[in-house]
Amino acid sequence: MTQTTRRAASPAASGKRMLSEQIYAYLRDAIMRGTYAPGEALKPQDLAKEQGVSLAVVREALVRVAGEGLADRLPNRGFAVPAYSDRRWQEIAEARRTIEPVVLRMSVERGDIDWEARVRAAHHRLSRTPAYGPEEPEAGVYYSAAWSEAHRVFHRTLLEGCGNPVLLETFDRMWTASELARRWSAHRDPGRAGADEHRRLEEAAVARDADAAAEVLSQHLTQTAAALTDDPAEGPVAGG
Amino acid sequence: MTQTTRRAASPAASGKRMLSEQIYAYLRDAIMRGTYAPGEALKPQDLAKEQGVSLAVVREALVRVAGEGLADRLPNRGFAVPAYSDRRWQEIAEARRTIEPVVLRMSVERGDIDWEARVRAAHHRLSRTPAYGPEEPEAGVYYSAAWSEAHRVFHRTLLEGCGNPVLLETFDRMWTASELARRWSAHRDPGRAGADEHRRLEEAAVARDADAAAEVLSQHLTQTAAALTDDPAEGPVAGG
DNA sequence: GGACAGAAAATAATCGATTATTTATCGAAT
DNA sequence: ATTCGATAAATAATCGATTATTTTCTGTCC
């Protein structure tokens, strides 16, 4: 609490030294990592004591988290980790299948050399990052944090050629929802990632084959969804 | 302040009697209506005194509003009405052109009879609602609140046949951003609405002509963007 | 006359405590 | 034994005040 002129307590905290920001980041990360079970109540008092801050900052962080869809809010009943149904996950997956191929097509048509280079770099990093790090095998954690981030960056980079921040914000939102829902999906598949599809995505992108890229992405997303809904043996695809 | 057991102060306030909710609704409406100039600071103290509540509730409302993109937030510098550039508006318009026709196609292919009926109802209401009500001619207000709402409902209803809440949330978000950016766009066009295009949209939808519907919507959005960027004389289209 | 340092004012961020609502507990009546 | 109702505990929502940061207003020095 008494943060009298505390400077850069968190690592690499250059510009933002706002207490609520830290708590927000903590909550977001904790929920995404599966620290709290779905449906579990997020009690401001417990969090405040646990994090050593006042109720106000916890509350502000919770409001932000809820605004992003990472927490449900019931009037006079507080906040809770959202309990995504399989149906919900399918809706998110369908939304991604609907939007991302179109954006990817735009990206391939517009992206410049720098974009191509970044796609190559992102794919390289993804392909060389082990999906399962030597991390502690907590419940609900299926991929290393490094791989999850590399995965996200690759998919985002693919779309960044479109040059439209609004569309990229839409991607970010859906990716977050997708990752959260996937974590708690009933039929989650801890199988290996779709490395081959990622490779084909990269190739189609730098080859400027918009149709092929869009098609591969569409299949990739479809298989991902199928792998989580049906029997895992059917589609050994895990990536998003 | 002293809200000792205040019951249903606001009209039709049945379920939600949360102070922060009211302030949130007020702020959202005020910003969308253009009550505050773009770039203007939203000072919690002033708002708190003005609305008769404490800082905490104003702060919570501001955090929510900022999360929706209806306010900018600068660390240690408070909140402010976002100052959208024309470039920003074009990005939003492009995002809508990219996504909405695809969703409309899906909607036309999936919508049931009930959806058809609601499309007809929404269009009827829109076509019979005067765009310019006898409201006080405040600065920045170009359409009556009733018409704006009917307009939004019509466009949303067109897409609701898709049956995917995630895609509809995306629409809601973009519509909000679009309306806000349009209000403060440099080249705003107070001309009459694209009533004819709305009629053609309705026809194509209930006729189950997905291609035509998507094409008309794409043109509609393109013309709307063009009308605000170029000389207003070029494209006398105002609707979204 | 302009730039700079320092004090003063304004505003943002945070805190501790109060009030209101919901949830849990317990006992009486059927 | 179960349901209903009142009380007690827990938790959410709100408030008033405190602390920290930024901005504004000086007056001085060059």
Q: Kindly give the interhelix angle for A113-128 and A145-160, rounded to the nearest 10 degrees.
A: 160
The pLDDT confidence band at residue B17, using thresholds 50, 70 and 90, is confident
Tell me how far apart the alpha carbons of residues A61 and A75 are, in angstroms, rounded to a whole number: 17
Say if residue A186's pLDDT is above 60: yes
Task: Pick B170's closest partner by Cβ from A60, A106, A170.
Answer: A170
Residue B110 identity: R
Task: Pick B18's closest partner by Cβ from A18, A75, A166.
Answer: A75
The pLDDT confidence band at residue B135, using thresholds 50, 70 and 90, is low
Residues B164 and B136 in one domain: yes
Among B88, B90, B126, residue whose Cα is nearest residue B222: B90
Residues A104 and A54 in one domain: no
Q: Report yes or no: A205 and A158 within 8 Å, Cβ to Cβ.
A: yes
Task: Pick A15's closest partner by Cβ from B75, B98, B167.
Answer: B75
Query: How buried is B7 (Cβ within 10 angstroms: 0-12 exposed, 13-18 middle, 19+ buried)?
Result: exposed
B21 contacts in chain A (CB < 8 Å): 75
Task: Pick A18's closest partner by Cβ from B67, B75, B98.
Answer: B75
**CATH number of the domain encompassing residue B23:** 1.10.10.10
The reported pLDDT for the residue numbered A235 is: 40
Exposure on the CB side of residue A35, measured as CA atoms within 13 A: 11
Has residue B61 been placed in a domain? yes
Query: What percentage of chain A exceeds 90 in pLDDT?
Result: 70
Q: Which residue has the higher pLDDT, A169 or A135?
A: A169
Q: What is the mean pLDDT of residues B190-215?
A: 90
Q: Each residue of A15-25: pLDDT tens digit?
A: 467 999 999 99
The pLDDT confidence band at residue B1, using thresholds 50, 70 and 90, is very low
B68 contacts in chain A (CB < 8 Å): 67
Has residue A239 been placed in a domain? no
User: How many Å does it take to go from CA A102 to C1' D30?
Assistant: 64
C-alpha A201: how far from chain center: 19
The reported pLDDT for the residue numbered A29 is: 95
Tell me how far apart the alpha carbons of residues A192 and A203 are, in angstroms, rounded to a whole number: 21
The reported pLDDT for the residue numbered A42 is: 97
Residues A51 and A72 in one domain: yes
Residues B92 and B206 in one domain: yes
Q: Which nucleotides of D are covered by protein (CB under 7 A)?
A: 11-17, 19-23
Residues B111 and B137 in one domain: yes
Number of H helices, E strands in chain A: 9, 3
The pLDDT confidence band at residue B138, using thresholds 50, 70 and 90, is low
- DSSP 8-state symbol, A139: T
Residues B112 and B62 in one domain: no
User: How many Å does it take to go from CA B190 to C1' C11?
Assistant: 38
The reported pLDDT for the residue numbered B12 is: 26
Looking at the structure of chain A, the number of domains it has is: 2
Among B151, B31, B132, B11, residue whose Cα is nearest residue B79: B31
**CATH number of the domain encompassing residue B208:** 1.20.120.530
Q: Which domain holds residue A33?
A: 19-80
Residues A139 and A64 in one domain: no
Q: Report yes or no: B224 and B239 within 8 Å, Cβ to Cβ.
A: yes
| Final residue before a domain boundary, out of B28, B46, B80 | B80
Residues A215 and A176 in one domain: yes
| Final residue before a domain boundary, out of A62, A80, A98 | A80
- DSSP 8-state symbol, B232: T
Query: If you average pLDDT over every residue of chain A, what do you get?
Result: 85
Q: Which residue has the higher pLDDT, B139 or A53?
A: A53
Cα distances (Å, whole numbers) of residue A43 to A119, B94, B210: 42, 41, 48
The answer to whether A8 CB sits below 7 Å from nucleic acid chain D is no
A176 contacts in chain B (CB < 8 Å): none
Q: What is the mean pLDDT of residues A27-39?
A: 94
- The length of chain A in residues reads 240
Has residue B5 been placed in a domain? no
Tell me how far apart the alpha carbons of residues A180 and A149 are, in angstroms, rounded to a whole number: 14
The answer to whether A133 CB sits below 7 Å from nucleic acid chain D is no
In the block, residue with structure tokens 């929510």: B64
The answer to whether B76 CB sits below 7 Å from nucleic acid chain D is yes
What are the φ/ψ torsions at residue B42 (nearest 5 degrees)?
-105, 95
Q: Which residues of B87-101 are buried (b: 16+ CB within 10 A; e: fewer)?
A: ebbbbbbbbbbbbbb
The reported pLDDT for the residue numbered B9 is: 28
Least confident of A141-155, A200-214, B56-70: A141-155
Has residue B176 been placed in a domain? yes
State the Cα angle at A16 between A11 and A19, rounded to 5°.
85
Has residue B50 been placed in a domain? yes
B87 contacts in chain A (CB < 8 Å): none
3-state SS assignment for residue A205: helix
Say if residue A83's pLDDT is above 50: yes
- DSSP 8-state symbol, A71: S
The reported pLDDT for the residue numbered A160 is: 98
The reported pLDDT for the residue numbered A224 is: 83
Nucleotide nearest to B78 (CA to C1'): C12
Has residue B4 been placed in a domain? no
User: How many Å does it take to go from CA A80 to C1' C30?
Assistant: 39
Say if residue B80's pLDDT is above 60: yes
- The length of chain B in residues reads 240
The reported pLDDT for the residue numbered B235 is: 41
Tell me how far apart the alpha carbons of residues A24 and B62 are, in angstroms, rounded to a whole number: 16
The reported pLDDT for the residue numbered A181 is: 87
Say if residue B217's pLDDT is above 80: yes
Whether B56 has its CB under 8 Å from any CB of chain A: the answer is yes
Tokens of A112: 């410049």
Whether B90 has its CB under 8 Å from any CB of chain A: the answer is no
| Final residue before a domain boundary, out of A46, A80, A114 | A80
B129 phi-psi bin (left φ>0, alpha ψ -120 to 50, beta other)? beta
Say if residue A71's pLDDT is above 90: yes
Say if residue B172's pLDDT is above 90: yes
The reported pLDDT for the residue numbered B133 is: 66
The reported pLDDT for the residue numbered B234 is: 42
- 8 Å CB contact of B106 and A98: yes
The reported pLDDT for the residue numbered B85 is: 85
Say if residue A220's pLDDT is above 60: yes
Q: Report the relative pairing of strands B41-42 and A78-80 from DSSP bridges.
A: unpaired
The pLDDT confidence band at residue B189, using thresholds 50, 70 and 90, is low
Cβ neighbours for A118, distance < 8 A, ≥ 6 positions apart: A157, A160
Has residue B183 been placed in a domain? yes
Tell me how far apart the alpha carbons of residues B29 and B124 are, in angstroms, rounded to a whole number: 25
Say if residue B65's pLDDT is above 50: yes
Has residue A130 been placed in a domain? yes
3-state SS assignment for residue A237: coil
- Other CB atoms within a 10 A radius of the CB of residue A103 amount to 24
The reported pLDDT for the residue numbered B86 is: 85
The reported pLDDT for the residue numbered A119 is: 98
Tell me how far apart the alpha carbons of residues B160 and B114 are, in angstroms, rounded to a whole number: 11
